[in-house]
Amino acid sequence: MQFYKNGFRGGSPDIKEAAPQRRNRGLHEPLPEKVDVLIAGTGPAGLCLAAQLAQFPEIETMIVERMPSNIIKGKADGINTRTMEMFQAFGFADKVKRETYWVNQTAFWMPDPQNPDHIKRAGRVQDVADDSSEMPHILINQARLHELFLEVMRNSPSRLEPDYSWEIVALTLDDATEDHPVTVTLKDASGVNWGNTRTVRANYVVGCDGAHSAVRKAIGGALHGDAAHQAWGVMDILANTDFPDVRQKCLVSSANEGNLLILPREGGYVFRMYVELDKLRPDEKAANRKLTQDDLIAAANRIIYPYNIEVKEVVWWSIYDIGHSLTDKFDDVGEGEDRNPRVFTAGDACHTHSPKAGQGMNVSMQDTFNLGWKLVHVLQGRADARLLRSYTKERLTEAKRLVETDHKWSRVMSAPTTQAERDGTEEPRIIRQFKENLEFTGGTAVKYDTSYLFAAGTYQALAVGEEIGRRFHSAPVVRLSDVKQMQLGHVAQADARWRIYAFADQTDSGLAEAAIYKLANWLETHSNSPIVKHKRKGEDIDAVIDFRVVFQQTFDQLAYGKMSSLLKPKTGQLGLQDHEKVFCVDHKGLGDIFDMRGISRSAGCMVVVRPDQYVANVLPLNAFDELSAYFAVFMK
């Protein structure tokens, strides 16, 4: 973590210097007439977007919420490894790791072949495959996650806070103007001026307002899907039990009473149960059954027999029916229209699915992590607004895959066990499917298609483990200046900057006339360099593209002082030298990044990474023109 860049300041380094002329926020404060971005909804998707935009005080951002405050319990709880990598960029991954429950193993319980009325452990599966990520799969109260994003917003230069108790009731787009063309009508839901309305004009609106999204409806979007006609209950409880695996994630299948999912929660005592309840008629909703928390507890005890759960406190509970749905549009551009979008939807506003795959909250945040940097680029004038068209193209494809996979998994979970599974002659289908799904449930299966943002894999062989279209897969390195062991991917922040990681060939030690020195000098000085072309006068050399280098030698074999000045740039108001641009292989046995990620030792390469941590291009170290041409397509 770097701070004091613009001078020494006491106190927490997480609290950024406040920007001047900030809007006052509060229940009785007037709303702005115009904003750059208006976000509807303070769920994970909305807060993830707001936390990114809050770092740019020149972008006027507003986030509204119908409820009077943040939630305090319930809702989603699973955070996969890919999302944890994203949290690292926001600066709170370590806090999350400290507070949460880590899912290390998943246990599977099935009917005992000798006594089918009883359940018996059928196997365990490691929940996160080795080297799939440096991050754990964790479980956390969604309300606490909200607090972490809200803290990032409050500590940002813009000191962004939600405007609670405001509900969107109408949205219109004026195609005749480019000046804040979206007019949003908000209704006071606070009770102070109940029902009064205000209008706010915005350049862009993002609907993160859930499955009943007013924003989606305003742009003519609709959710289409199907239902499994199966009622499930969920509850967070404090309880005592003789079930031995209660502090492990468990999938329990009984012979005749249905299925149960146990998820231990943070703190060591609370755990969550997803309980299969009644089959529903095609025209029926789970709410029609009038099931109670006592019904959930009784069903759980029938499923888990011969073990017993004695509930001491029900923290939160809910009844739901499984459904999978997807909207036909993620933005306001109609079929056949050739214009750039102004209104977007994200999260449950455009895709819903069952909670048992643990993807809803994760995919929602990945939606807005994808959109956030694109909005920043466009609003800062760094990229043409056509860039925003890529949001729907990229995220709709992933949403379709999510719904299809979750649809299949939900039915596997609810399927009765076969005789072959019970007597042990066949590995249970649920275990086989769980193993097949590990990459999907970890969030690392996402692979974006080739486009102007994701280059064709012409040079993919130079870094086979950093696949174009997939997220940048971090690995251990040592920072040269202070010999600190760390993960290379952890240098990336949620700051809308691109990264170029240059991996040196085995003979290169960063000295003059070698490939890294030539590349760095070209990037720093040549008029065709993307670093030079796409930054503005007076900006730091790394304001748009952050250049880092990894050498194959160990720290004691490199001469830092003789390397290119781009690897020791002077930045900030005081022009202080940045000593954190150069890395080398780990010398204490944590792993060699060149071996782990299949990077060519003989040739080296450049790996270009988008602000949302996805690999955009792989190029030879001397591919100057191709690197420039890549950025020139979409950057001004």
pLDDT tens sequence across 489-540: 999 999 999 999 999 999 999 999 999 999 999 999 999 999 999 999 999 9
pLDDT of residue 535: 95
Round the average pLDDT of the chain to a whole number and report it: 92
Burial 542-560 (b: 16+ CB within 10 A, else e): bbbbbbbbbbbbebeebee
| 171, 184 contact by CB (below 8 A) | yes
| Interval 76-102 mean pLDDT | 95
Q: What is the pLDDT of residues 345-390, one digit of tens each?
A: 999 999 987 666 667 899 999 999 999 999 999 999 999 999 999 9
Please report which confidence band the pLDDT of residue 22 belongs to, taking 50, 70 and 90 as the band edges: confident
Q: What is the pLDDT of residues 405-433, one digit of tens each?
A: 877 777 777 677 777 776 677 788 888 88
* Higher local confidence (pLDDT), 283 or 590: 590
* Higher local confidence (pLDDT), 463 or 74: 463
Q: What is the pLDDT of residues 262-288, one digit of tens each?
A: 999 999 999 999 999 887 777 777 677
pLDDT of residue 355: 66
Instruction: Dump the DSSP string for 510-544.
Output: S-TTSHHHHHHHHHHH-TT-HHHHTSPTTS-TTSS
pLDDT of residue 19: 78
pLDDT of residue 225: 80
* Higher local confidence (pLDDT), 126 or 324: 126
- Provide the phi-psi class of 330: left if phi over 0, else alpha when psi is between -120 and 50, else beta: alpha
Listed by start position, the domains of the chain span 460-632
Q: What is the pLDDT of residues 332-346, one digit of tens each?
A: 998 889 999 999 999
- Find, among 334, 336, 367, 333, the residue nearest to 352 by Cα: 367
How many angstroms separate the CA atoms of 263 and 269, rounded? Answer: 11
Running DSSP on this structure, what letter comes out for residue 424?
T
Give Cα 216 distance to the centre of its chain: 21
* pLDDT > 90? residue 558: yes
* pLDDT > 90? residue 1: no
| DSSP H or E segment with residue 596 | helix 593-596
| 337, 388 contact by CB (below 8 A) | no
Prediction pTM value: 0.94
Q: What is the pLDDT of residues 112-143, one digit of tens each?
A: 989 999 999 999 999 999 999 999 999 999 99
Query: Please, which residues bridge with residue 172 across strands?
Result: 183
Residue written as tokens 């299966």? Answer: 445
Instruction: Please tell me whether residue 394 adopts helix, strand or coil conformation.
Output: helix
* Higher local confidence (pLDDT), 269 or 6: 269
* pLDDT > 70? residue 306: yes
pLDDT of residue 439: 87
| 258, 299 contact by CB (below 8 A) | yes
- Write out 107-153 in H/E/C secondary structure: EEEEEECCEEEEEEEEEEEECCCCCCCCCCCEECCHHHHHHHHHHHH
* Higher local confidence (pLDDT), 594 or 282: 594
* pLDDT > 70? residue 561: yes
pLDDT of residue 27: 67
| Interval 477-486 mean pLDDT | 97
Q: Centre a 10 Å sphere on the Cβ of residue 628 and count the other Cβ atoms it contains.
A: 20
The fold of 460-632 is Glutaredoxin (3.40.30)
- Mean pLDDT check: name the lowest of 113-117, 118-122, 187-191, 193-197: 193-197
| Interval 227-253 mean pLDDT | 91
Residue 192 half-sphere exposure, CB side, CA atoms within 13 Å? Answer: 11
